[in-house]
Amino acid sequence: MQRGWRKIFEMGGSKESCATLTHLFKRCEDSEIKTFEDAKALATWVSAAVVNIAMGSFPYPSAYLLNGKGMLPAYPVAAACRFVEGERTDMEIVEGLMTGLTQMYYNNTGDKTCFSTKDTGAFSGSAWDYLACSEVILASAQDGIRDMFWNAPFDREAMRKDCLEQYGSHTKFDVGSIKYGGRKAMRATSNVIFTNGELDPWIAEGVLQDVTDTVVSIIIPKAGHHEDLMFSTKDDPPALTDARERILVHIRRWIDEVTEAYEEPFISTNIAKKMWIWDKEEI
Q: Based on the fold, state whether residues 238 and 270 are members of the same structural domain.
A: yes
Residue 25, SS3 per DSSP: coil
* Residues recorded for the chain: 283
Residue 144 backbone zone (phi > 0: left; psi -120 to 50: alpha; other: beta): left
| Domain end marker among 120, 138, 159 | 120
> Residues 64, 94: one domain?
yes
| Closest of 108, 140, 145, 105 to residue 125, by C-alpha | 105
Domain count, the chain: 3
With respect to residue 66, please indicate whether it lies within any of the assigned structural domains. yes
Burial class (CB in 10 A: 0-12, 13-18, 19+), 99: middle
Whether residue 129 sits in one domain with residue 114:
no
pLDDT at position 124: 54
Specify whether the CB–CB gap between 101 and 5 falls below 8 A. Answer: no
Same-domain check for residues 14 and 112: yes
22-26, 56-60, 98-102, 263-267: range with lowest mean pLDDT: 263-267
Decide if 283 is inside a domain.
Answer: no
DSSP one-letter code for 70: S
Q: State pLDDT tens for residues 112-164.
A: 899 987 665 555 556 788 888 888 888 889 999 989 899 999 999 999 999 99
Does any domain span residue 87?
Answer: yes
DSSP secondary structure letter of residue 27: B
| Domain hosting residue 145, numbered range | 124-173
Cα–Cα distance for residue pair 259/19, rounded to 1 Å: 68
